[in-house]
Amino acid sequence: MSADKRYVIVGATGAVGQEVLAILEQRQHPTEGIRLLASARSAGTMLEYRGQTLEIEELRPDSFRPGEVALFSAGAAVSWEFARTAVEAGATVIDNSSAYRMDSDVPLVIPEINGAQVKRIGRPSVIASPDCSTIILLMGVNPLRAAFGIERMVVSTYQAASGAGAAAMRELQSQTSAVLSGDDPVPEVFREPCAFNVFSHDARVDEATGRNVEEQMVIDEARKIWGDHLIRLSVTCVRVPVMRAQAESVNVTLDEPATEAEVREELAAAPGIRIIDDRVGNDFPSSLKASGEDDVLVGRIRPDETQEWVVRPKVRAFWGFDLFVCGDQLRKGAALNALQIADLL
């Protein structure tokens, strides 16, 4: 990243905005190359950055300047209101919300998978970063799709509170303290208590399909990113009482059979993936191991023997495999993915 890259962070006080700022600090990006925007009630707040302080400005239609990269992490309503205005002012918008993900004119990008779309952009525009569940899922299975093709996937997500923002993280903390003190947890952000509970993702459910918005989003986004509208996906999304980093159980059906060794080889060679798969030591990916990490962790790699297999000389090749995937949804699932997109501009 060039030292003169100018960023404006929209939603600087939120969980993702804070993570963007933390990554830029790790990269030692110069203070003068960053501006922070948020709602009027946060304007004037000072945030520490590299031993200095940055003042949050109020987000307004005239907040954007030519040549800036505007990282939006303030929700769909804010993106709908201000993203196009930013582009008109000459800024390139990288949007972490759901606002433009399914817009046919907007690239939906995971750099390791379809980053070439960014390189074809020749003028300021909107680029969408996928939902965290989609990013973590596709990072974990895309090497298999590239090598063997994927016909079908069954996915169960175990999503942390941080996926719903800073307020949800505070709610998990306060509810945990309440329960341990003998009090009843009072849900405000979520519909059910999140402390000591596992419950269906509380996105709106389609009465006709039975899928909630989060589950449908993963299906739609995966098909758009891969450019494959025939792939079959079955997704179930749940919340778990974890602060950050989510896990996903994945069962894949390949287009071509592969041996376990071949699957492991493809995963090991893929950028952005780290394999943790120690059967003897019972050491596998977990939310805590993934927290704060850039890589997506993959483990529990094993053939699905309920699906068909074929015999090769001395080995069996399988059409189906099971994986357990963990990733930090604030980092690779949001802030880091957006900054990686900016790296490609």
Give per-residue pLDDT as tens, 222-253.
Answer: 999 999 999 999 999 999 999 999 999 999 99
Q: Tell me the CATH number of domain 134-329, given options 3.90.700.10, 3.20.20.70, 3.30.360.10, 3.40.50.300.
A: 3.30.360.10
In which band, very low, low, confident or very high, does the pLDDT at 1 lie, cut at 50, 70 and 90? Answer: very low
Ranges assigned E (strand) in 110-245: 126-128, 150-159, 199-200, 232-239
Q: How many CB atoms lie within 10 A of CB 313?
A: 4
Residue 313 has pLDDT above 90, yes or no: no
Contact between residue 253 and residue 151 where contact means Cβ atoms under 8 Å apart: yes
Q: What is the pLDDT of residues 42-59, one digit of tens each?
A: 899 999 999 999 999 999
Same topology between domain 7-130+335-344 and domain 134-329: no
Q: Environment class of residue 121 by beta-carbon count within 10 Å: exposed (0-12), middle (13-18) or buried (19+)?
A: middle
Average pLDDT of the residues in 10-26:
94
Residue 229's pLDDT is: 93
Contact 227/280 with Cβ under 8 angstroms? Answer: no
* Three-state secondary structure call for residue 71: strand
- Average pLDDT of the chain is 94
Q: What's the pLDDT at 2?
A: 47
- Do 110 and 225 form a contact (C-beta atoms < 8 A)? yes
pLDDT band, residue 302 (cuts 50/70/90) = very high
Q: Quick check: 6 pLDDT over 80?
A: yes
Between CA 168 and CA 51 the distance in angstroms is: 29
Instruction: Map tokens 């179930």 to a residue.
Output: 236
Give the pLDDT confidence score for residue 166 in this predicted structure.
Answer: 85
Domain-wise residue ranges, the chain? 7-130+335-344, 134-329
What is the predicted pLDDT for the residue at 4?
64
331: enclosing H helix or E strand: none
User: Over 50: is that where the pLDDT of 310 sits?
Assistant: yes
Predicted TM-score of the model (pTM): 0.94
Encode pLDDT of 258-289 as tens digits. 999 999 999 999 999 999 999 999 999 999 99
Residue 122 has pLDDT above 80, yes or no: no
Residue 18 has pLDDT above 90, yes or no: yes
pLDDT for res 37 = 96
Per mean pLDDT, which range of 3-7, 161-165, 234-238, 329-333 is the poorest? 3-7
Q: Are 92 and 69 in contact (CB under 8 A)?
A: yes
Among 3.40.50.720, 2.40.128.90, 3.40.50.300, 3.40.462.10, what is the CATH number of 7-130+335-344? 3.40.50.720
For the cut 90, the answer to whether the pLDDT of residue 128 exceeds it is yes
